[in-house]
Chains A and B, each alone.
Chain A
């Protein structure tokens, strides 16, 4: 009987909502949920222990007010930006250079270089941190090498902490840039480059006027991804310097850890997390703007 009666079709929305429900539920529960919780927590005085843990109160924008007047936060934001710019610049230049050099090389060279660079990338962050710690500390490899040239030993993690973590992060992250740029370069039509060469362009001119403009979209996407990865680097810095000496390598993620977990001030810690989001967001806007400019041209 039922098959005879014309069936009322499901509303259009229900037709795609129902099959997606499990995925939607997972996204809401494990993605949107924590984000909303973070926003909520940043408006409270939530704490790990003490009376505030038993009775958490809504404090409005107090945490953000405190944030703006906190010199530690200002220093950490500045360090985060320096760390970010250093890492993104280094990774982009190195990654692009490697990708260009590896182009059209024979398979064996590509495989060997690729394996070495990607090796750094797949190493867990904690291990990478210890490798660099062992390399840069006072009795480390770098000082042994420098000793041949008569340089006195020094703990590089102490004398140049931010530079040390930037170098380590570039070392670790270059592989990612290299791979995306390699993929991007293979999309550049060979005949365009050839045409330019026939017209008498030098190698550098071909790169600058033909290859890079065609790579622009890949560049923007890669920059965006690297920025989002770099802005949240915690483990590497924590293992190498713990944010020290003093606060000379305390970037926002480390400050967030110190406030939320060391000091037990979850409300303030989550406010820092949101500030971190703003920093990442500002950089992203710049890249998106770069990309759009190209398309409108």
Chain B
């Protein structure tokens, strides 16, 4: 009697251990082959992707009743979004089939083995000839393979409120030729409108993240004689005059009170507030911002602002002293990529091409304020009508620059943001901040991969 009882206990214990082991092993069992899991970002003013993907799900499932398109919208800033996608990619059972991918992280993610090369699929696609050369460059990794198809690109420049500038005595259309002319306009706005209007927004500091680095700092640096990365020697540039001059610009606008109060500039939501509130309510005059700013104002936005076309104008960001082409721009862009663990790559590719079709690409270009990479979208009258600034943007495509898409870039970018932040808070002079940056970069990439600029 006693023995059987003991045996029972023993058996129960063994069984429960086995059950635990079994469940822990079977977690993440086979994925359904007819389900295509798409992960994408939905955040702040950016709802165009969500709108596109909902349409893809509806349309594709209707045409293919046996297929399920599983949408996974991640509501987070770009940095957090990428972290979450990376974490998903780290576990094959969680990995998405398709993902919305920032093109500048393609190298890292391809190195990590998260992405599927798409050369064969793309070559066999009868619409592939409609994609521009720049598109191919942006989604091709350093090893020469294509890891995605781009949805759209962008340029950056100065958005301004014509009414506020005119009231301040600045002639419109405003075409500043140097940094000083930009600063002069900001000074005029400050003296005319006082504290009620932010004269000039330049994203700065770590809370703004990549916006500060790209829309802010690199838009300045690209207008100097220096660069962040020297393509010739393949080295990162530190201690350059251009670097210090760019920081000096940041120092000037904060020091002379030509921009936000630092505490507002360091609010992580500054971008959303700028475009959804400050511009529409006439509380901000000029902003160094992306071409996609219109997505906050068009019909279907969170807070539509139909009058924007009468008030808002776009002008290129001038170079420091008007040198070179006289204007500058930086570009990024997002693509659709396929996960290396895609359950059924052919099916995933089908969904992908459906999402990238002329009709859908047009919808995304309009709602997302994008510069199309498909020629048949760029020339479509519907696009030209819906995107009244398309011509101005297109003019910048020839002179625009791209970020150095190396896997160290995100850390370098953070070092840039920290340099800006210490300058805007008055904790360091531009020279001191540039010095700290030089040390940081050397620590990140090693002394052999650093060169000093002009």
Give CA–CA (A51, B427) in the complex, Å.
36
Q: Which of A17-36 contact B (CB under 8 A)?
A: 18-19, 21-22, 25-26, 29
A49 in contact with B421 (CB, 8 Å) = no
In the complex, A138 has a CB within 8 A of chain B = yes
Asked whether A221 is an interface residue with its Cβ less than 8 Å from the other chain, the reply is: no
Which residue of B9, B111, B411 is within 8 Å of A51 (Cβ)? B111
Check if A232 is an interface residue, CB within 8 A of chain B.
Answer: no
Find chain A residues with CB under 8 A from B263 CB: 138, 155, 158, 245
Which residues of chain A have C-beta atoms less than 8 A from B10's C-beta? 18
Question: CA of A7 to CA of B4 in the docked complex: distance in angstroms?
Answer: 13
The reply to whether A7 and B112 contact each other, CB–CB distance below 8 Å, is no
Q: How far is the CB of B210 from chain A (nearest CB, A)?
A: 11
Residues from chain B with Cβ under 8 Å of A262 in the complex: 79-80, 83, 414
Which residue of the partner chain A has the closest CB to B87? A48
**Does B68 make an interface contact (CB < 8 A)?**
no
Residues of A within 8 A of B111 (CB): 49-51, 53-54
Number of chain B interface residues as a range:
35 or more
Q: List residues 1-46 of chain B with CB under 8 A from any CB of chain A.
A: 3, 9-10, 13-14, 16-17, 20, 24
A244/B206 contact (C-beta < 8 A), A21-B13, A53-B112, A263-B414 known: yes
B93 at the binding interface (Cβ < 8 Å): no
Contact A158 B17 (CB under 8 A): no
B414 touches A244 (CB 8 A): no
Cβ-defined partner of A22 (8 Å) among B13, B79, B407: B13
**Number of chain A interface residues as a range:** 20 to 34
Chain A residue nearest to B109 (CB atoms) is: A49
Q: B16: which A residues are within 8 A, CB to CB?
A: 22
A282–B242 alpha-carbon span in the complex (Å): 47
A51 proximity list for chain B (CB < 8 A): 111-112, 407
**Chain B interface mostly:** helix
**Residues 48-82 (chain A) with a chain B CB within 8 angstroms:** 48-54
| Interchain CA distance A289-B262 in the complex, whole Å | 46
Q: Is A244 within 8 A of B86, CB to CB? A: no
Whether the pair A242, B422 counts as a contact (CB closer than 8 A) is no
Report A253 CB to chain B, min CB distance, Å: 16
CB-nearest residue of chain A to B422 = A246
With contacts A244-B266, A245-B266, A246-B425 taken as known, whether A48 is within 8 angstroms of B207 at the C-beta atoms is no
Q: Are B17's CB and A50's CB within 8 A? A: no
Q: Is B282 an interface residue (CB 8 A)?
A: no
Query: Is A263 in contact with B113, judged by CB distance below 8 angstroms?
Result: no
Closest to B82 in A: A49
CB of A264 closer than 8 Å to a CB of B: yes
Establish whether residues B17 and A22, one from each chain, have CB atoms under 8 Å apart when the complex forms: yes
Query: Cα distance A242–B90 when bound, in Å?
Result: 26
The residue from B13, B17, B86, B421 contacting A245, defined by CB atoms under 8 A apart: B421
B384 in the interface (beta carbon within 8 A)? no
In this complex, what residue of A is CB-closest to B13?
A21
Report the bound CA distance from A261 to B421 in whole Å.
21
Name the one of B24, B113, B206, B266 contacting A158, with C-beta atoms under 8 angstroms: B266
Say if the beta carbon of B268 comes within 8 Å of chain A. yes
Q: Is the CB of B410 within 8 A of A29?
A: no
Complex Cα gap A50–B408 (Å): 9
> In the bound complex, how far is the Cα of B421 from the Cα of A257, in angstroms?
20
B437 within 8 Å of A (CB atoms): no
| Chain A residues whose C-beta falls within 8 Å of the C-beta of B407 in the assembled complex | 49-51
Nearest CB in chain B: distance from A65 CB, A = 12
Cβ–Cβ contact A246 & B9, under 8 A: no
B108 on the A face (CB < 8 A): yes
Q: With A and B bound together, what is the CA distance between A36 and B83 in angstroms?
A: 23
B20 near A264: Cβ-Cβ < 8 Å: no
Interface core residue of A29, A50, A51, A53 (most chain B CB under 10 Å): A50
Contacts of A47 in B (CB 8 A): 112
Within 8 A of A (CB), among B97-129: 105, 108-109, 111-114
Q: How far is the CB of B360 from chain A (nearest CB, A)?
A: 28
A244: B residues at CB distance < 8 A: 205-207, 266
Chain A residue at minimum C-beta to C-beta distance from B20: A25
- Please state if B113 and A53 are interface contacts (CB–CB under 8 Å): yes
B113 surroundings in chain A (CB, below 8 A): 53-54
B9:A19 contact, CB within 8 angstroms: yes
Q: Please, which residues of chain A bring their CB within 8 A of the CB of B13?
A: 18-19, 21-22
Contact of A49 among B3, B80, B112, B411 (CB under 8 A): B112
Measured between alpha carbons, how far is A138 from B265 in the docked complex, in Å? 13
**Chain A 229-255 near chain B by CB (<8 Å), digits 1 or 0:** 000000000000010111000000000
Across-interface contacts of A158 in B (CB, < 8 A): 262-263, 266
Contacts of B108 in A (CB 8 A): 49-50
Q: How far is the CA of A52 from the CA of B427 in the complex (A)?
A: 35
List the B side residues contacting A22 at CB < 8 Å: 13, 16-17, 20
Contact residues in B for A48 (Cβ distance below 8 Å): 83, 86-87, 90, 112
Contacts A54-B111, A263-B410; is A49 near B17 (CB within 8 Å)?
A: no
Kindly supply a per-residue 1/0 record for chain A positions 255-269, scoring 1 wherever the CB is within 8 Å of any chain B CB and 0 otherwise.
Answer: 000000111100000
Give B362-411 interface residues, CB cut-off 8 Å to A: 407, 410-411
Distance in Å: Cβ of A193 to nearest Cβ of chain B? 51
A 39-53 binary contact with B (CB < 8 Å = 1; else 0): 000000001111111
The residue in chain B whose Cβ has the minimal distance to the Cβ of A20 is: B13
* Cβ–Cβ contact A246 & B90, under 8 A: no
Interface residues in chain A, defined as those with a beta carbon under 8 Å from any beta carbon in chain B? 2-3, 7, 18-19, 21-22, 25-26, 29, 47-54, 138, 155, 158, 242, 244-246, 261-264
14 new A-B contacts at CB < 8 Å, known A7-B3, A262-B414, A264-B83: A26-B20, A29-B24, A48-B86, A48-B112, A49-B108, A50-B112, A50-B407, A244-B205, A244-B266, A245-B205, A245-B421, A245-B425, A246-B206, A246-B421
A selection of 29 A-B contacts at a CB cut-off of 8 Å is A3-B3, A18-B10, A18-B13, A19-B9, A21-B13, A22-B16, A26-B20, A29-B24, A48-B87, A48-B90, A49-B89, A49-B108, A49-B407, A50-B111, A50-B407, A52-B112, A53-B86, A53-B90, A53-B111, A242-B268, A244-B206, A244-B266, A245-B425, A246-B206, A246-B422, A246-B425, A246-B427, A263-B411, A263-B414
3 residue pairs, one from A and one from B, having the closest CB atoms? A53-B112, A158-B263, A51-B111
